[in-house]
Chains A and B, each alone.
Chain A
């Protein structure tokens, strides 16, 4: 019962936040520019396109009515334009790209597998290597292992993702010729090629982020291993590996999970860059193209979609955290 209430409060809070973000984003992108239809009609902007864009967006309506239409579209779907030129945009409708003649939701869904493949693989890799590195150096602070891990990690924190990626392409792609230098092969087409094409993007993204997790885990491990119950466990004659993993890591890992939830946004930003480096046509490429041709509907829809995605995942992580660690509920 308490668990349900906790989850309920979190979900309600998230809905309020989502609504606020939608209103703010809408205001910034559609009300600040003098003529959103002009912006949205793209380049080159013919008078015909401009007229269509203005009609589609209903810029003649008062702003609050436009906003309500927009919100209604997200929940129920909406129609753009009228008569023969009308198009239907099914719920959840985040907008309609005139330039690509498709709803933003469809465009996002078509690119989603690419980005998800990059993001999930990279996240697994960085969590595993980061936590392992942090545990190894946190077990013996000041040792050779500790210094080595910390040196690699400050280099990782400082190295820009695109530099690491481009150097990786140079080394493993062109000099050693071990791996392909870019592109994406769907899993269903050829799982081996899918893996080969993703290996460098994963390692690139993981290298720069695992560093942060190694430092965090190290600090947590040093603190946890200094606790009384660790001494007790050792005094009982427990094997060292069991002490470190069961008693140490299990308690040290909770803040790492919290930070991981906060880093999902960074992960999405990282995939945008990695997609560019490895020329993969994922969500990031969709956004960057949308920006360069000034497809306002696409840009706004994408931005909102990513905010929704991150906030929903954070609620999930919060609730999971509440189940795993009863203390988390108390602070909620």
Chain B
């Protein structure tokens, strides 16, 4: 009799695979997610080492090379002027090195994307946890606000807001703030739903019953239990933020020249689609690949952290 009991126990314990290490192992086994992680790392590395990378050929994203263009501003030579010194060719009209623009553009995109995500995650988590935990009128009003923001023409508001950008604030910082301020309702909703469930769990109830202040219960018991969700949602949010920055810059209301930005380069490329298609392809591919990598990695992360396991 007792032997059966022990075997059940022994089997039950190793069968439970949770925690960060198990999730990581699961994530590494997911080939698409691992490849995406490598891609993201490569982009981050390229962005961090931009001066050295462009230094190999002695280029930078600001110097004009008008001698490489023909009379109408189209780059001379094959594929938009691709050569040993200009790996991605040069920009039409100015002759600036396109490889440098793409590499330095990665800095702009990643920094703004990650910073705006951070702003959104902080607001979203605070609102989500407090509304879910406190409930009542506060929850009703805040949740209604979230509902309204959710279906909002956000891009229209962001475009409009750029008219009142204060001159004392650096433009990229302003973009980060406005994108971040409009991007949090999604996280807030997901976190709130989880907190509603957590609130009823016995360890949370016990902590409250023992007289812990609400602030302590939220920080020590609720927050750690929604951290996995927060990580997944943040990962999926980054490409969205990068996309919004690129969209604003594409429309000419985002990051201002001469700061390199993939979105602005794509906006400039509209006039050169026929004469210099590769001018559009290089920054476009960079934007597409980094977005895809974050999306696939986020998907893999969700599967790895989901205790039910496996793809559904």
Contact = CB atoms under 8 A, between A and B. Distances in A.
Contacts of A154: 292, 295-296, 299
Contacts of B151: 261-265, 310-311, 314
Interface string A152-170: 0011011111110011011
Contacts of B269: 166
Interface residues on B, range: 35 or more
Given A264-B151, A265-B154, A269-B153, A163 B287 contact: yes
Contact of B247 (A162, A219, A264): A162
B164 A272 contact: no
Contacts of B161: 28
Interface in B224-279: 239, 243, 246-247, 250-253, 266-267, 269-270, 273-274, 277
Secondary structure at the B interface, as helix, strand, loop or mixed, is helix
B291 interface: yes
Interface string A237-275: 000000000000000000000000111111011101100
A39 B163 contact: yes
Contacts of B152: 265, 307, 310
B247 A160 contact: yes
B46 interface: no
A158 B159 contact: no
Contact of B153 (A39, A158, A265): A265
Nearest to A288: B251
Contacts of A162: 247, 250, 266-267
A170 B160 contact: no
Interface string B289-308: 00110011001000000000
Nearest to A159: B288
Nearest to A261: B151
Given A159-B288, A160-B247, A292 B252 contact: yes
A161 B266 CA distance: 11
Contacts of B273: 166, 169-170, 173-174, 181
A124 interface: no
Secondary structure at the A interface, as helix, strand, loop or mixed, is helix
B163 A291 contact: yes
A263 B155 CA distance: 12
Nearest to B281: A167
Contacts of A166: 266, 269-270, 273, 280, 284
Contacts of A161: 247
A303 B157 contact: yes
A315 B5 CA distance: 59
Interface in A131-174: 154-155, 157-163, 166-167, 169-170, 173-174
Contact of B243 (A160, A167, A268): A160
A272 B157 contact: no
Contacts of A179: none
Contacts of B280: 163, 166-167, 170
A170 B159 CA distance: 27
Contacts of B162: 291
Interface in A292-332: 292, 294, 296, 299-300, 302-303, 306-307, 309-311, 314
A293 to B, nearest CB: 10
A302 B160 contact: yes
Contacts of A273: 155, 247, 250-251
A160 B285 CA distance: 10
A51 B156 CA distance: 29
B74 to A, nearest CB: 14
- Among B148, B153, B239, B253, max chain A CB count under 10 A is at B153
B153 A307 contact: yes
Contacts of B295: 154, 157-158
Given A163-B288, A222-B312, A300 B153 contact: no
Contact of B277 (A170, A263, A291, A309): A170
B157 A163 contact: no
B62 interface: no
Contacts of B277: 170
Given A154-B295, A166-B266, A292-B253, A300 B160 contact: yes
A127 interface: no
B150 interface: yes
B196 to A, nearest CB: 14
A163 B284 contact: yes
Q: Which 4 A-B pairs have the closest CB atoms?
A: A269-B155, A158-B292, A265-B153, A158-B291
Given A170-B273, A261-B151, 19 more contacts: A29-B163, A29-B164, A163-B266, A163-B287, A166-B280, A169-B273, A264-B151, A265-B151, A265-B153, A266-B153, A276-B250, A276-B251, A276-B270, A287-B156, A287-B159, A288-B252, A291-B163, A299-B163, A310-B151
9 contacts: A154-B292, A154-B295, A160-B247, A161-B247, A166-B266, A167-B284, A276-B250, A288-B251, A314-B151
Interface of B: 144, 148, 150-157, 159-164, 239, 243, 246-247, 250-253, 266-267, 269-270, 273-274, 277, 280, 284, 287-288, 291-292, 295-296, 299, 312
